[in-house]
Amino acid sequence: MTAAQPLPTLEITALEKRFGETQVLRSIDLKVQNGELVFVIGPSGSGKSTMLRCCNRLEEPTSGAIHVSGKPMLGIPRKELDRMRLQVGMVFQGFFLYPHLTALKNVTLAQRKALKRPRAEAEARALEMLDKVGLKHKADAMPSELSGGQQQRVAIARALALDPKVMLFDEPTSALDPELVGSVLKVMRDLREGGMTMIVVSHEMQFAREAADRVVFMDGGVIVEEGPPEEIFGNPKSDRLKAFLSRVSGEAA
């Protein structure tokens, strides 16, 4: 008798996405288990960001299914979608903090309006999350007064404060100056140690080697190869992955 498979925190089934004539994603299948950090790599235009954005329906999939802890993300009424989105935290390449609100208010807004938490509770939770990303002392700062790295950490706190089941990171360090990347990666490492389920689209290969449970390589809208980081980086099988890795290491050198 085999043990029942645990319910994946995020499950992508036969996901397809077309923009007009262009097929961006074709039959993507991916299961992410609780506490897992899945790292997605691939050349630009390979569809990795689109896949991520389909997971919380910032992009509308053409067909397929997305489930979060067994509950469908597709084919549900808008109000239900808003509730489901609370369980899927998203961190963007461009941070997108609300520039007219303080760091604290950035983190309390959705707690108050979407989760309907009372003000005191939302603020306590926000301070806790800002502390977690090392920015409690910046609670009253406006986004324009923060560095890019600090803005991104506030954006992570904003998503975490809603107690998501899974966090999606869409190239979270690509817009940062090199010296600020480390502070964001450190927060992500802490999150992983805290057991957060994460999908990370990024070019930080070193981080993938150290922190990922599994690396997924995408090219041309399909998952070409996936496996533990030591397999993907140490023993790539497909020619496309080999070519990609040599290009990337060439850039880094």
Partner 1 sequence: MDTIIDAFFNIDIMRQATPLLLKGAWVTLQLCAVVILLGLCGGLALALLASSRSALLRLPAFVFIDIFRAIPPLILLILIYAGLPFVGVRVPPFVAVCIAFLLNNSAYFAEIFRSGIKAIPRGQMEAARATGLSPSQAQAWVILPQAIRNVLPDLLSNVVEIVKLTSIASVVSLSELLYSANMARAVTYNSSPLVMAAGLYLLLLWPLVRVISRFQRGLSISH
Site for partner 1 in 43-62 (CB under 8 A): 56, 58
Which is nearest to 87 in space by CA: 197, 188, 6?
197
Name the minimum Å distance from CB 42 to partner 1. 22
112-119 long-range contacts (CB < 8 A, ≥24 apart) are 114/82, 114/86, 114/162, 115/86, 115/162
How many residues make contact with partner 1 (CB under 8 A)?
27
| Least distance in angstroms from the C-beta of 51 to partner 1 | 15
Q: Does residue 88 bind partner 1 (CB under 8 A)?
A: yes
Interaction between residue 137 and partner 1 (CB under 8 A): no
Considering the complex, what minimum distance in angstroms separates the CB of residue 93 from partner 1? 9
Which tokens belong to 244? 């990609």
Binding mask 139-158 for partner 1 (x = CB under 8 A): ----------------x--x
- What's the number of CA atoms in the CB half-sphere (13 Å) around residue 120? 0
* Residue 71: count of CB within 10 angstroms of its CB: 14
The CA-based angle 152-163-91, given to 5 degrees, is 25
Instruction: Map the footprint of partner 1 across residues 93-112, applying CB under 8 A.
Output: 94, 96-100, 109-110
Nearest to 104 by CA among 131, 81, 77: 131
Distance CA(222)–CA(102), nearest Å, equals 41
Taking the complex as a whole, the smallest distance from the CB of residue 134 to partner 1 amounts, in Å, to 21
> CB-wise, 106 or 219, nearer to partner 1?
106
**71: which strand partners?**
68
Residue 237 Cβ, how far from partner 1 at the closest point, in Å? Answer: 35
Question: Which of these ranges, 25-33, 66-74, 85-93, 194-202, lies near partner 1 under the rule CB under 8 A?
Answer: 85-93
Q: What is the DSSP letter of 176?
A: S
Residues that bind partner 1 (CB under 8 A): 56, 58, 78-79, 82-83, 85-86, 88-90, 92, 94, 96-100, 109-110, 113-115, 155, 158-159, 162
